[in-house]
Amino acid sequence: MSGKPQYDEAAVVDAAMSVFWKNGYAAASITDLTSATELSRSSLYQRFGDKDGLFREVLDTYTDRVTARMGSVRGDSMQETLRGLLREFVPREGRRNRPPGCLLARSCSEMGNLSAPAQANVCAGVERQREVLDNILREAASRGELEPGADIDALSWHFLGVLQTILNLPQMGIASAVLERVIDAAMSAWPANSATDG
């Protein structure tokens, strides 16, 4: 025997991700997780240590995926890249293949229930989301697409807040058309360089 797990670890993490995403950390029981992953308790504990260890691996996987999706968008300018990034997450008919909302945002609301290492994973995941936006803005500044002295740090948090709105408000029944208008309003905060505008 090689000692390697006799199951698909990626599939196990995906199944656990769905449980944590739908139920939240506190409400996700070991029974829920073993049922979804089809692992025995002993196999789950042997591989991930405990529920917290599994959750942290799920958070890292989710963060990798969402930031890769954010970073995959390209536009003719950095402004259009950012607009396209925000529009990428507007719900479209036939595209929903995940639970609603953002797993990181949900986890932020449960910080009091999380271990210190899990809290650190959540904060790191949110920071990685912000860094994608920060990089777009810094590239825009280097190209002269932003006015000199633009507060890139504040803008990156502003657009992260807009992204979280797009990810989470559809659960309330907010229509995609409304979210498109939110994006248009949010992009008005882009401080274009008047020397290059037009």
pLDDT score of 5: 60
Name the β-bridge partners of 192: 146
Considering the domain boundaries, does residue 197 fall inside one? Answer: no
Considering the domain boundaries, does residue 193 fall inside one? Answer: no
- Measured from the Cβ of residue 1, the count of other Cβ atoms closer than 10 Å reads 4
DSSP 147: -
**Total domain count, the chain:** 1
Domain that holds residue 26: 9-187
pLDDT score of 192: 83
- Averaged in consecutive runs of 10 residues, what is the pLDDT profile of the chain (198 residues)? 67 96 95 95 93 97 97 97 97 72 94 96 98 98 95 98 93 90 96 69
The structure's pTM equals 0.90
Considering the domain boundaries, does residue 181 fall inside one? Answer: yes
pLDDT score of 198: 47
Considering the domain boundaries, does residue 4 fall inside one? Answer: no
- Taking the C-alpha atoms of residue 188 and residue 139, their distance in angstroms, rounded to an integer, is 18
Considering the domain boundaries, does residue 196 fall inside one? Answer: no
Considering the domain boundaries, does residue 183 fall inside one? Answer: yes
Considering the domain boundaries, does residue 16 fall inside one? Answer: yes
CATH code of the domain covering residue 20: 1.10.357.10
Considering the domain boundaries, does residue 156 fall inside one? Answer: yes
